[in-house]
Chains A and B, each alone.
Chain A
Amino acid sequence: MALEWYLVLSGLLFAVGAAGLLIRRNPLVILLCLELMLNAGNLALLAFARSHGNEEGHVFALIVMVVAACEVVVGLGLIVAMYRRRLPLNVDEMRGLKG
């Protein structure tokens, strides 16, 4: 399979993730969209690794996975904290940065 397909697919998935990030309001779903974008990146990395015959791309993708996992952990911790404090789970309500 020609590599362009993988790359175009990766770009498409990234765009879908970006659109979702901008449109959805539930923080949980926004985190999911972030996962989409990260995975799209992983796909691109592996495609290039295959094309160069070089496993460094794999290592990079692995580290990305680790980072994504950490970020998910923290993000979900935030969401749980929000829920505990009875805050509405809607990023539009978090307007403390207004000014």
Chain B
Amino acid sequence: MEALAFFVGAIGALGGAIAVIALRNPFYSVLALVVHLVSLAALFLLLNAEFLAAAQIVVYAGAVMVLYVFVSAYVGGSEEPIWEPIPGQRFLAPLLAGALFVEISIAVLGTALTTLEGDGPDVRLGFGSPASIGELLLERYLIAFEAASLLLLVAAVGAVVLAARKRREAPHGA
């Protein structure tokens, strides 16, 4: 049962990912990413990460992707030209990505990490719940928490500055 759920989620995630990189229209890519994110949320649930799954849906698929949708609608999208100016890029990119995948797989599968075998230990009740995560955030990782908030503030201000319209100079003596 669990395996089925995993494979559904995995296929959704993988499909979404491939669709993101393969579709020509950037708007469709955005939508494909939404599908990907929702599938990942399902996988998170399988890993007993309930709070993260919820956060994924609400924050990521909800807020961040809406941002993307808005911007992509504003900016629009054009067809990318066929010709590749950088020699070798078209060939090397999939090659290197594939090499990366192979190496990671070897690292993961060939490893002596015992915990990776099997399903993992039984987790206690309340693992991954908001309460336990909140405890960690506000006790051990308070600084990270505060820093992240600061980062959010800075990013917001930065984005406003970046995208602001140039203010037209008021004529003197007007």
In the complex the two chains form, is B165's CB within 8 Å of A24's CB? no
B120 touches A50 (CB 8 A): yes
Asked if A78 and B162 make an inter-chain contact with CB atoms under 8 angstroms apart, the answer reads yes
List residues of A (30-54) whose CB comes within 8 Å of B's CBs. Answer: 31-33, 35-36, 39, 42-43, 46-47, 49-53
Complexed CA–CA distance, A81 and B118 (Å):
50
Report whether A55 and B75 are in contact in the complex, using a CB–CB cutoff of 8 Å.
Answer: no
Closest B residue by C-beta to A2? B118
Judging by beta carbons under 8 Å apart, are A36 and B71 in contact? no
Q: Please report the C-alpha to C-alpha distance between residue A39 and residue B74 in the assembled complex, in whole angstroms.
A: 25
Using an 8 Å CB-CB cutoff, how does the interface string of B157-172 with A read, 1 for contact, 0 for none? 0111111010000000
CB-CB nearest in chain A for B116: A3
**Cα–Cα distance between A36 and B20 once the two chains are bound (Å):** 9
Q: Are A26 and B80 in contact (CB under 8 A)?
A: yes
Within the assembled complex, what's the spacing in Å between the Cα atoms of A82 and B5?
Answer: 42
**B19 smallest CB distance to A (angstroms):** 10
Residue among B21, B67, B77, B96 having the largest count of chain A Cβ atoms under 10 Å: B21
Main secondary structure of the interface of B (DSSP, over half): helix
Chain B residues engaging chain A, CB cutoff 8 angstroms = 2-3, 6, 10, 13-14, 17-18, 20-21, 26, 29-30, 33, 36-37, 40, 43-44, 46-49, 51-52, 55-56, 59-60, 63-64, 67-68, 71-72, 74-75, 77-78, 80-81, 85-86, 89-90, 92-94, 96-98, 100-101, 104-105, 108-109, 115-121, 123-124, 127-128, 132-133, 136-137, 140-141, 144, 148, 151-152, 154-156, 158-163, 165
Q: Which residues of A contact B (CB under 8 A)?
A: 1-9, 11-20, 22-26, 28-29, 31-33, 35-36, 39, 42-43, 46-47, 49-53, 55-56, 58-59, 61-63, 65-74, 76-81, 83-84, 89-90, 92
20 contacts between A and B (CB under 8 A): A2-B116, A2-B117, A9-B10, A15-B100, A16-B14, A23-B89, A23-B90, A28-B77, A29-B20, A32-B29, A35-B33, A49-B47, A50-B47, A55-B133, A56-B136, A59-B137, A69-B60, A77-B161, A80-B71, A80-B163
